[in-house]
Amino acid sequence: MQNKLTIAILTAFIFLSQGFLEAKEMFIIAPYTGALTNKLNNSDYNLDMKDTAPMHGIYFQWINTEKFQGNLFYYKSSDINYSNLKGLHAIVDWYFKTNERSKYVLGVGVEKINVDMEAGNNLSAAMTSFDMNNNILYYYARAGQYRYFEAGKFKGSLLPYIGYSYEKVDIDLKIDFTSPFIPDTDENVISKDRYPIAGLNLKTKFHHFLETKLKYMSRFEKPHTAHSATAIVNIYLTRNFGLSYRYKYIEHGKSSDTYQLAGIMVCF
């Protein structure tokens, strides 16, 4: 079921992009590079780790300001906390009742993250190997309303939204111990959860060349609320080229990621 929903969302994303290319507005592609910091604190497996490694990604977006927007971001990082990380994030938003002062939005999103850890005997002298493959699958639907404002040469929008999400965490764990009296571990742990979300997006643009975006989202998980925050600065050098900076902090259960990326935008 989850794989079918993922395919449906990505198919909708591709379908919208085709319609956009035949219509108008803007297509953006931006390769990014930078650094990722991962923190992992899991008392169940005696893990308390922090590491930083290079991160690379590529971002696509299709925009029709009156009908929809869709964006997709693929990223990866290697050898961080003895792990390789890959992620894919995609969102499609549909717009309704669009006018000069506001518009309503209905959106769906999906995020898939894979963290493949092969720590060997680096975590503890009591272990000869520690392997953990962690797959996170996250869906959500949201609804909100954009409100536009203008102050001199500044133009902007504010989007408060609410929604509902589904998350599945699938962990394969293998631990070999040095002592023959401690049984080795080989288990698969799957957890599923559903919870509401709420967020706020603020976008500003100054004189058509400087754009900023601030995004915050709360995921009301139990027993703790998980938070994510994003800051984006885009500088448009010409109609077709620009520079972009991204910062993001996101919590995933007992781990968190912080990344800073810089890239070049190509706009059509």
pLDDT tens-digit profile, the chain (268 residues): 545 555 555 555 455 444 434 446 889 999 999 999 999 887 766 778 899 999 999 999 999 988 999 999 999 999 899 999 999 999 999 999 988 899 999 999 999 999 999 999 888 888 899 999 999 999 999 999 999 999 888 899 999 999 999 999 999 999 999 988 889 999 999 999 999 999 999 999 998 789 999 999 999 988 789 999 999 999 999 989 999 999 999 988 778 999 999 999 999 8
The β-bridge partners of 209 are: none
pLDDT score of 116: 95
pTM score over 0.75: yes
pLDDT score of 207: 83
pLDDT score of 24: 67
Could you tell me if 169 and 253 are in contact, meaning their C-beta atoms sit under 8 angstroms apart? yes
pLDDT score of 125: 83
pLDDT score of 20: 39
pLDDT score of 8: 54
